[in-house]
Amino acid sequence: MTEDPARTGTAAYEIQRLLRPDLRGRTPYGAPQLDVPVRLNTNESSYPVPEAIVRAVMAALEDDVRGLNRYPDREFTDLRKALTAYLARQAGVDVTPEQVWAGNGSNEVLAHLVQAFGGPGRTALGFTPSYSMHPIITETLGARWVDGLRAAGTFELTATAAAEQASAHDPSIVFLCSPNNPTGTALPFAVIEAVLAAAPDAVVVVDEAYAEFARPGTRSALTLLPGNPRLVVTRTMSKAFAFAGGRLGYLVADPELIDALRLVRLPYHLSTPTQTIARVALEHADLLLATVETIKAQRDRIVASLAGLGLAPVPSDANFVLFGGLADAHATWQDLLDAGVLVRDVGIAHHLRVTAGTPDETTAFLAAMTRLAAAHRLDPAPADPTITGAHG
């Protein structure tokens, strides 16, 4: 770090001098949180928590508050049982509580995985574009990140390409997203199986944050867990459960792998209120998930409508749509914001991502895009989009 005499002795200089060299110059993760009429940029649910669940949570928390003088259940036993029961109903898989792990959002359980199986001297591999927190968590915890490649122009990841790259880089961790963020596409099982075979010394993590929104016939990687002790499937309650503020993510894996995560988790990392709120939400899963089909309908409506405007939306298995064919993605993003609609600039040239919200929000977004499309459309669309920033 070159000293600047004008700054020497200032707080900013002192902090930068003491900061880990690999963190200097980085910018923190964060999507804009703006007060606009239509906020469709972070894949949250637009639907508030139903009143019946609000009352149930408040009643359950009353006893918790009286007992906050005691530490929470370190093993979050009741929550793990509730998650197990939910997966049996929703995904049709039989897992035991010993296979389930949870944290304050899926980012925390992802961090636990990197702490346990990554770290200095080890490599993590992911296939760009994908969830931007995978490399951030990897690098800030001291491991090396490798950007794997997808097919130019289509974002497709084939089993052959994934296996070749996994074999070449000898990773300790491989991250796969299904459905993928920001493209919204689900992975064929052949890709997961090929990576498991090609990277015999790696923990293979399939991030299924958006699994509840997948189109009919899309299988969950949870069904691949038997016989694959190096496979991990992560999920969250932030999306389909409309519980982004509740901060509850979880993973399912072999009990031996779960036991390894106890070595790195902070003591009592899940508070008593967090455990209770999540458990009550799971007890009312049917009510919370009642909006999923409506959101999927709006997602498909966005795909069809944007295609009709001459743009290039990617058919999605998530609660969002990535669409291309824009001459200047950031200019379109700004004009949408000026119209009161906030979407996400994910750093891919000529592309933006929009969350599927309520029918009224979808109408507002599509009305704005109908006005803007002719002036913002790129014709023809580029064959090789480039990555210029972060997304999540």
Q: Phi and psi of 68, rounded to 5°?
A: -70, -5
Domain boundaries, the chain: 35-46+290-392, 51-283
Among candidates 311, 310, 304, which has minimal Cα distance to 362? 304
List C-alpha distances in Å: 117 to 167, 205, 294: 18, 11, 39
Question: If residue 45 lies in a helix (H) or strand (E), which one and from where to where?
Answer: none
Question: If residue 139 lies in a helix (H) or strand (E), which one and from where to where?
Answer: helix 133-140
Higher pLDDT, 151 or 2: 151
CATH 3.90.1150.10 fits 35-46+290-392, yes or no: yes
Give the mean pLDDT of 114-140. Answer: 96
Length of the chain: 392
Whether pLDDT at 367 is above 90: yes
Q: Phi and psi of 56, rounded to 5°?
A: -65, -40
% residues pLDDT > 70 (the chain): 94
> 72, 272 in Cβ contact below 8 A?
yes
Alpha-carbon distance 364 to 36, whole Å?
12
Q: What are 145-151's contacts with CB under 8 Å, separation 24+?
A: 146/171
Signed CA dihedral, 255, 259, 261, 266: sign only:
positive
CATH 1.10.1060.10 fits 51-283, yes or no: no
Whether pLDDT at 330 is above 80: yes
Whether pLDDT at 219 is above 80: yes
Higher pLDDT, 177 or 217: 177
To the nearest 10 degrees (0 to 180), the angle between helices 133-140 and 106-117 is 40
Alpha-carbon distance 383 to 154, whole Å?
8
pLDDT of amino acid 4: 59
| Residues 6 or more apart whose Cβ sits within 8 Å of residue 236 | 105, 106, 209, 248, 249, 250
pLDDT band at 328 (very low <50, low <70, confident <90, very high): very high
Q: How many CB atoms lie within 10 A of CB 232?
A: 27
Give the mean pLDDT of 342-362. Answer: 97
Give the mean pLDDT of 278-297. Answer: 97
Whole-model pTM over 0.85 = yes
Whether pLDDT at 389 is above 50: no
Give the mean pLDDT of 279-303. Answer: 97
| Residues 6 or more apart whose Cβ sits within 8 Å of residue 335 | 368, 372, 376
> 346, 285 in Cβ contact below 8 A?
no
pLDDT digits (tens, 9 = 90+) for 150-202: 988 789 999 999 999 999 999 999 999 999 999 999 999 999 999 999 999 99
Among candidates 138, 137, 157, which has minimal Cα distance to 148? 157
Starting at the edge strand found earlier in the chain, the sheet holding 144-149 runs 100-103, 249-252, 231-236, 203-207, 173-177, 123-128, 144-149
- Burial of 369: CB neighbours in 10 Å, binned 0-12, 13-18, 19+: buried
Alpha-carbon distance 60 to 280, whole Å?
8
> 209, 238 in Cβ contact below 8 A?
yes
